[in-house]
Amino acid sequence: MLLVLPLVYACNNKKEEFDEKLAGIQFVRIPFSEIRNGETMSIKAVMAASNECGEFNRFEEKWVDENTLEIKAYIRYPKEGVCAQVIKTVEKIYDFTPKKAGTYILKFYAGGPYISKRITVR
């Protein structure tokens, strides 16, 4: 029995591999349009996974200029396994913490155009 246990553990300890795909953000909810410098604003982003196994992986940020930020979301899918072929809604919080006062434009990638939100930082 002692020899079998490490073998079973090794088989179950397989690292799962994933494919990552860019997701179009469908909806963005900002709790308010003004915050203070140094505060963090939690922004709800809603996107769709193309099957039941899709789950949020990461946000990618790109500063276009000092006050405009583009945000893209990525969903990961397992490389192996069977997944129900239904569209699944995925929600994730994006935290924005400005470094200085001013007006910021956050542009969330929506699959073609961007969803733009304006935030004033005092």
Extents of the domains making up the chain: 16-121
CB 88 within 8 A of CB 71: no
Q: Is the pLDDT of residue 11 over 50?
A: no
Find all residues with CB under 8 Å of 11, minimum gap 6, and list them.
none
Distance CA 105, CA 108 (A): 10
pLDDT band at 99 (very low <50, low <70, confident <90, very high): confident
Q: What is the pTM of this model?
A: 0.82
pLDDT of residue 62: 98
**Res 40 pLDDT > 50:** yes
> Per-residue pLDDT averaged across 91-102, rounded?
96
In sequence order, the β-bridge partners of residue 109 are 114
CATH code of 16-121, in short, is 2.60.40
Q: What does DSSP assign to residue 40?
A: -
